[in-house]
């Protein structure tokens, strides 16, 4: 239930999920919500409502509790919507179990909302700026109820496709809409479907890639947890288009909630005839199987994923043949990302013409980004393609917290790149990002403020790729490790002048020689930081200085007088009493006594120690 200023819309939604009469309390139970204690809040509501006997049908006051999927603004979790009949739905933010009795008492019984806990304006602004085509249902419906999805117009697209459209028409609709793969590569979905549909084979497979491995990306999880039926609908439509005989959803085992809800959704869809034998009596049958991945990042690569489904070690293979020719079990296979499939019902329902109006010339529709890092409103955002980074970071994200300065955004996860301030006003689409040295990737967007060392960040992402390399080819397996060794050396003040040159050359070599996307894009963070933040590398190498004082080995353990607020926190924490100073005097570190334990640096809230 997306509450906001669009009162009209909210009201209809409230009605639908409230079953006409009675109040509804919707608690965000996405993974973020649960992590913030959502399940406890949910239980408490149930308990309190029961004890107050609000759930029994005495008169018109029937109270219900409802689960919803991710509400996107995870920074404010737990988010709770309270809808009293005839009144506008109101959202409480940062709800804890302790707050529950008061909310029930005042809002439900006395009909006076607890104003101090209601979501602030920024919450509404966060949602207003977005265009939630895909995430619309997430947080608004109970993901474990097919009815709520159907009431929202769910499976209408499937009905339309199966009854009124040929496979070719479906493909042409998707092509016309200009939908491109949301998994990272941006491959045209219609083209892929078409080439798979052309293959002549006794069996064909459609696979949904839900192996979302990028650190900081969770849009696929939110869809699977919050709106699993939309995904199923998209897969069945895709399956129909290519003539698939079986479907797979490959989900990371680290997403237990997604797995559970998908299982429920599949069961429900089968019961209703949206899945399984003879779907909607159209003659088309498709069974969907959930395959849980064992946690290898590389299994997000399509060929490795297929091997993993076959029960083999997830290692990418060379192409040709392409998956559409010989993929899973050597049969034509079409593989798309969760978000891509979720776009499909929207395209069918609203039409390619309408859909293609959103976005830029080459990149159509909306894109979900996982906004994390040094930004106020961390969470999921869905925005039209072509939006600028500035809009995302400052308008939706609410800017950088603690009045720090914006430094860069890392787009596209570990294989993406870092874009500096100069790119703030560049519109985001597949091409422009590639041009700038980043990539769309799965859509993780990490905001970096002035306190982050770019060399260290490149090291972090490279470390991730080096560890997640499947080990098949030497450029990725050995090359990334060697690059990592150099980066570590630089962050430890042992960098050499020629290192930057070596890193650049190696990046090119690894990019050219690696077998799969993981290896090819692994050096991207290094390339982009070297391109935009070369001076930081130079500082590390020549001056043995980390400008942001992040790299511990380069700390000189001196106090920057301008920054010191004389709070004496460092003095109180120094284990060897090496720091002198007082509330009146800036701190001073005695080098003789200092044992370089780094405690003062960690404790200082003002980055005054270097």
Partner 1 sequence: MSDINLKIDGKNVTATKGTNIFMAAKNNGIYIPGLCYHPKLTQYGGCRLCMVEVTERGRTRHRFSCAQPVSEGMSVKTKTSEVDKYTKSVVEYLLAHHPLDCPTCDKSGECGLQDITHDLKLSAGRFKTVRLDAPMKRDNPLLEYNTNRCILCGRCVKVCKEVEGVGAIDYQNRGIKTVIGTAFDKPLDCTFCGGCVSVCPTGSWQDRTLKFRARPWELKKTSTICTYCAVGCTVVVNTKKNEVMRITSDDDLGINEGNLCVKGKFGHEFINSSRRVKTPLMRKSGVLRPVTWEEALNHVSKRFTEIASEHGGKAIGGIGSEKCTNEDNYLFQKFCRTVLGTNNIDNISNIKSPSLNRLVNESVEYEIAAASVEEIEKADTLFFVGADVAEAHPVIGSMTRKAILANNAKLIVANARNIEFNNSAKKEIRMQYSIGTQTQLINTLSILILNGELVNYKKVETSTENFKEWYSSLKKSDMGIRKVSTLTNVSEEVIKSAAELLAKPGKCYIICGKDIEEDPSAENAIRALMDLCALINAGGSDKVSLVFSRANNNSQGVNDMGVVPDFLPGYLDINDPANRKKFEDSWRVTLSDDVSMEDSDNVFDLASKGKIKALYVMGENPIVSYQNGKKAKAAFKKADFVVVQDSFLTETAQLADVVFPASTYAEKEGTFTNMGMTVQGLNKVIEPVGESRPDWQIVCELAKKMGHPFYYISPKSIKDEIGKCVSIYEGIKNNNLKKDGSRWVASVYDGNLERDGFRWVSYDNLERDGFRWVSSEYDKYEPLKYIFEISKKRSPVIKKNRDYPFILLTGYSLRHQGTYSRNSSSLVSLASECFIEINANNARRTKIADGDMVKIESAQGKLKLKAKVTSRVPEGAVFVSEDYEWAPINDLRVNEYTNVRISKTR
Contacts with partner 1, residue ranges (CB under 8 A) = 296, 298, 313, 315, 317-320, 466-475, 477-482, 485, 502, 505-506, 509, 512-515
Please state the closest distance from residue 298 (CB atom) to partner 1, in A.
Answer: 8
64 is written with which tokens? 């219900």
Structural contact between residues 345 and 331, judged by C-beta atoms closer than 8 angstroms: no
**Nearest distance from C-beta of residue 55 to partner 1, angstroms:** 51
CB neighbours of residue 391 within 10 Å: 17
198: tokens are 């052309």
Nearer to partner 1, 402 or 467 (CB): 467
Q: In the bound complex, what is the minimum distance in angstroms from residue 303's beta carbon to partner 1?
A: 11
Find the shortest distance in angstroms from Cβ 169 to partner 1.
Answer: 31
Token pair belonging to 344: 């499909």
Least separation in angstroms between residue 28's CB and partner 1 is: 35
Residue with Cβ nearer partner 1 (157 or 324): 324
Considering the complex, state which of residue 129 and residue 199 has its C-beta at the smaller distance from partner 1: 199
3-state percent breakdown (helix, strand, coil) of the chain, nearest 5: 45, 15, 40
- As measured in angstroms, the least distance from the Cβ of 411 to partner 1 is 24
d(CA 301, CA 306): 9
Q: Are 126 and 396 in contact (CB under 8 A)?
A: yes
Choose among 156, 141, 68: nearest CA to 346: 156
Whole-angstrom distance, CA of residue 148 vs CA of residue 162: 22
Report DSSP state, residue 428.
P
Give the nearer residue to partner 1 in terms of CB position, either 422 or 512: 512
| Order of strands, sheet of 333-337, starting from the edge strand that comes earlier in the sequence | 287-293, 246-252, 205-210, 333-337
The least CB distance from residue 477 to partner 1, in Å, is 6
Grouping H, G, I as helix, E, B as strand and the rest as coil, residue 603 is helix
Question: Cis bond leading into 78, ω under 30°?
Answer: yes
Sheet holding 23-28, edge to edge: 63-68, 23-28, 80-83, 90-92
Question: CB 468 → partner 1: shortest distance, Å?
Answer: 6
- Cβ distance to partner 1 smaller for residue 306 or 469: 469
The counts of H helices and E strands in the chain are 26, 15
Q: Which is nearer to partner 1, 339 or 468 (CB)?
A: 468
**Which residue's CB is nearer to partner 1, number 200 or number 592?**
200
- Per the CB < 8 A criterion, the answer to whether 338 and 209 are in contact is yes
What gap in Å lies between CA 572 and CA 165, rounded to an integer? 73
Q: What is the nearest approach in angstroms of partner 1 to the Cβ of residue 532?
A: 25
* Distance from C-alpha of 38 to C-alpha of 602, rounded to nearest angstrom: 31
Closest contact distance (angstroms) between CB of 514 and partner 1 is: 7
In the bound state with partner 1, the residue whose beta carbon lies nearer, of 317 and 426, is: 317
Residue with Cβ nearer partner 1 (502 or 595): 502
What is the C-alpha to C-alpha distance for residues 81 and 197, in angstroms, rounded to an integer? 44
**Minimum distance from residue 440 beta carbon to partner 1 (Å):** 23
Closest to partner 1 by CB, 89 vs 458, is 458
Nearer to partner 1, 111 or 512 (CB): 512
For residue 309, the number of C-alpha atoms closer than 13 Å in the C-beta half-sphere is 28
Measured CA to CA, the distance from residue 561 to residue 577 in angstroms comes to 19
């Amino acid at each position: 239930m997306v509450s906001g200023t669009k009162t009209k819309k909210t009201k209809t939604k409230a009605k639908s999920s409230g079953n006409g009469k009675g109040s509804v309390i919707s608690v965000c139970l996405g993974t973020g919500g649960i992590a913030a204690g959502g399940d406890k809040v949910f239980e408490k509501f149930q308990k309190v409502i029961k004890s107050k006997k609000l759930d029994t049908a005495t008169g018109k006051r029937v109270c219900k509790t409802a689960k919803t999927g991710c509400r996107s603004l995870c920074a404010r979790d737990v988010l709770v919507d309270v809808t009293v009949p005839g009144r506008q739905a109101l959202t409480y933010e940062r709800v804890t179990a302790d707050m529950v009795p008061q909310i029930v008492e005042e809002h439900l019984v006395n009909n006076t909302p607890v104003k101090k806990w209601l979501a602030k304006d920024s919450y509404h602004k966060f949602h207003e700026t977005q265009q939630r085509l895909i995430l619309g249902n997430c947080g608004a419906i109970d993901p474990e109820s097919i009815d709520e999805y159907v009431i929202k117009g769910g499976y209408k697209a499937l009905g339309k496709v199966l009854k009124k459209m040929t496979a070719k028409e479906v493909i042409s609709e998707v092509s016309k809409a200009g939908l491109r793969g949301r998994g990272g590569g941006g491959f045209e979905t219609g083209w892929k479907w078409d080439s798979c549909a052309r293959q002549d084979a006794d069996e064909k497979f459609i696979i949904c890639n839900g192996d979302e491995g990028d650190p900081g990306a969770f849009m696929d999880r939110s869809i699977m947890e919050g709106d699993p039926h939309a995904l199923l609908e998209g897969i069945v439509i895709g399956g129909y288009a290519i003539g698939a005989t079986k479907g797979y959803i490959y989900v990371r085992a680290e997403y237990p909630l997604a797995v559970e809800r998908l299982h429920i959704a599949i069961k429900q869809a089968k019961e209703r005839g949206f899945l399984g034998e003879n779907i909607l009596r159209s003659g088309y049958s498709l069974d969907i199987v959930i395959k849980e991945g064992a946690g290898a990042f590389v299994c997000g690569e399509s060929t490795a994923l297929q091997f993993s489904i076959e029960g083999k070690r997830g290692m990418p293979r060379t192409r040709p043949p392409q998956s559409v020719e010989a993929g899973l079990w050597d049969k034509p296979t079409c593989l798309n990302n969760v978000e891509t499939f979720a776009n499909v019902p929207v395209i069918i329902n609203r039409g390619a013409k309408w859909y293609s109006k959103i976005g830029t010339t080459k990149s159509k529709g909306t894109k979900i980004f996982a906004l994390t890092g040094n930004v106020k409103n961390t969470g999921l955002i869905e925005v039209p393609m072509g939006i600028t980074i500035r809009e995302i970071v400052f308008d939706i994200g609410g800017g950088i917290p603690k009045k720090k300065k914006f430094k860069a955004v890392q787009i596209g996860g570990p294989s993406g790149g870092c874009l500096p301030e100069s790119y703030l006003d560049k519109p985001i689409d597949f091409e422009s990002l590639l041009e700038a040295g980043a990539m769309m990737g799965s859509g993780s967007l990490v905001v970096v403020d002035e306190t982050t060392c770019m060399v260290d960040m490149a090291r972090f992402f490279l470390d991730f790729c080096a560890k997640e390399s499947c080990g098949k080819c030497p450029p990725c397996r050995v090359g990334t490790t060697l690059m990592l060794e150099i980066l570590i050396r630089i962050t430890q003040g042992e960098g050499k002048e020629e290192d930057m040159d070596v890193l650049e050359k190696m990046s090119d070599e690894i990019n050219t020689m690696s077998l799969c996307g993981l290896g090819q894009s692994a050096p991207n963070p290094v390339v982009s930081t070297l391109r935009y933040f070369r001076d930081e590398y130079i500082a590390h190498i020549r001056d043995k200085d980390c400008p942001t004082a992040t790299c511990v080995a380069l700390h000189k353990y001196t106090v920057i007088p301008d920054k010191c607020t004389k709070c004496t926190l460092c003095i109180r924490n120094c284990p060897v009493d090496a720091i002198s100073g007082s509330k009146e005097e800036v701190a001073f570190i005695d080098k003789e006594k200092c044992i370089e334990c780094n405690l003062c640096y960690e404790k200082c809230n003002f980055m005054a120690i270097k």
